[in-house]
Amino acid sequence: MDSSKLGRSMYELMMRTSTELPEDVTCALEKAREREPVHSTAANTLDIILKSAELSRANRLPICQDTGVPFAVVRAPQAVDTAEITRALVSALKTLTIEGVLRQNCVDPVNGSNSGDNTGPHVPQVHYEPSEGPIRVDFMLKGGGSENVSTQYSLPCDELRAGRDLEGVRRCVLDAVFKAQGRGCAPGFISVCIGGDRASGYLVAKKGLFRKLGEANPDVDLARLESVITEEANMLGIGPMGLGGNTTLLGCALNAAGRHPASFFVTVSYSCWATRRYSVELDETGGVARWL
């Protein structure tokens, strides 16, 4: 791979993620806007949101001042030098932080100091998955507010009357949406891992946010439950930013992971309206072959 080409690709991937609201998200927000009465708080809020996102795109400025936690998933054949990709990601991260496209978001949890360049122990998170190729990089910036309202349930849960079945999953997810209120910057997109262990649950749920809004789940039972949850969550009336309205969720993605017989976790990853993620396919030289 040509390291300067690879560097440019990673830079462009991160730049776009921070500054251009993905098309599926913009579409979903525009549809939400149509569902709100004219001059309502919800309509005004969505107007400001759409206007702000448009300004970001036009001026290549970060959509939100919280440019989140950088998260990358790289799928590449075994022969690819993954360390080279990590170096390119880290270098792009540092450059974009200096340029003000990413905020200095990595704080030492022990002494409270900010590293100033968005790197630190276990930061950034880069996950590798072997594949047949071509090289694919998924990149996400997920804000702290939405991460704070993400949560995990262990079923059965007496308080929610949630058993170890899809009905139990439904009850947990609606509870998570209710508890988040507007604090995750509604209307949000939630991705859920049903099953797995405590660690894989959060990872699978977060990766599920790469699915595009409106893309159907191939599993018919899960697809059905996704629309039930979205519809019911929107009946809660929490609305944009939690100020009331008809759209609380833009969508819901359910993912299944094998579970231990003793465990049944439901893990909810909440993404704010500013869901920022892009995927690219690279050619052999490290250049962008196409945006996915």
Partner 1 sequence: MALRRIRSPMDPETAASLAVGDTVLVSGRIVTGRDQVHRYLASGGESPLDLTGMVLYHCGPIVVGDAGSHRVVAAGPTTSMREEPYQADVIARFKPGAVMGKGGMGERTSKALVEHGIPYLHATGGAAVYLASCIERVEGVYLEEFGRPEAMWVLCVRDLPALVTMDGKGASLHRHILDRSASMLKRVLESTLTPPRT
Element (H, E) at 236: none
Footprint of partner 1 on 204-263 (CB under 8 A)? 221, 224-225, 228, 232, 235-239, 241-244
Q: Does 37 bind partner 1 (CB under 8 A)?
A: no
Residue 265 host element (H or E): strand 265-271
**Of residues 148 and 285, the one with the C-beta less far from partner 1:** 148
| Both structure tokens of 198 | 């405590």
Nearer to partner 1, 171 or 207 (CB): 171
Strands (E), the chain: 69-76, 125-130, 135-142, 151-154, 188-195, 249-257, 265-271, 276-282, 288-291
Q: Which is nearer to partner 1, 22 or 62 (CB)?
A: 62
Of 201 and 239, which has the nearer Cβ to partner 1? 239
R_g over Cα of the chain:
19
Residue 32 binds partner 1 (CB under 8 A): no
Residue 106's nearest CA partner among 95, 119, 93 is 119
CB-based contact 150:268 (threshold 8 Å):
yes
Q: Is 183 in the site for partner 1 (CB under 8 A)?
A: yes
**Do the Cβ atoms of 16 and 63 come closer than 8 Å?**
no
Q: If binding is defined by CB under 8 A, does position 69 make contact with partner 1?
A: no
140, 276 Cβ separation under 8 angstroms: yes
Name the minimum Å distance from CB 13 to partner 1. Answer: 19
Q: Minimal distance in Å, beta carbon 254 to partner 1?
A: 12
The stretch among 122-130, 160-168, 207-215, 251-259 that binds partner 1 (CB under 8 A) is 160-168
- Give yes or no for residue 67 binding partner 1 (CB under 8 A): yes
CA-based diameter of the chain, in Å?
A: 57
Judged by CB under 8 A, the number of residues near partner 1 is 61
The 83-122 site mask, x for binding partner 1 (CB under 8 A), equals ----------------xx--xxx-x----xxx-x------
Contact, 240 vs 246, CB < 8 A?
no
**Given candidates 40, 41, 86, 154, which one binds partner 1 under the rule CB under 8 A?**
41
The number of CA neighbours under 13 Å toward the Cβ of 253 is: 21
C-beta closer to partner 1: residue 189 or 203: 189
CA distances from 67 to 170, 271, 284 (A): 30, 13, 30
According to DSSP, the β-strands at 265-271 and 188-195 are antiparallel
Stretch that binds partner 1, among 78-86, 191-199, 254-262, 266-274 (CB under 8 A): 266-274
Q: Does 4 bind partner 1 (CB under 8 A)?
A: no
Instruction: Tell me which residue of 200, 178, 179, 206 sits closest to 265, measured CA to CA.
Output: 200
Q: Three-state DSSP class for 199?
A: helix
Q: Which residues pair with 278 in a beta bridge?
A: 139
195 binds partner 1 (CB under 8 A): no
Residues at the contact surface with partner 1, assessed by CB under 8 A: 41, 44-45, 48-49, 51-52, 55-56, 59, 61-67, 99-100, 103-105, 107, 112-114, 116, 143-145, 148, 161, 165-167, 170-171, 174-175, 178, 181-183, 185, 221, 224-225, 228, 232, 235-239, 241-244, 272-274
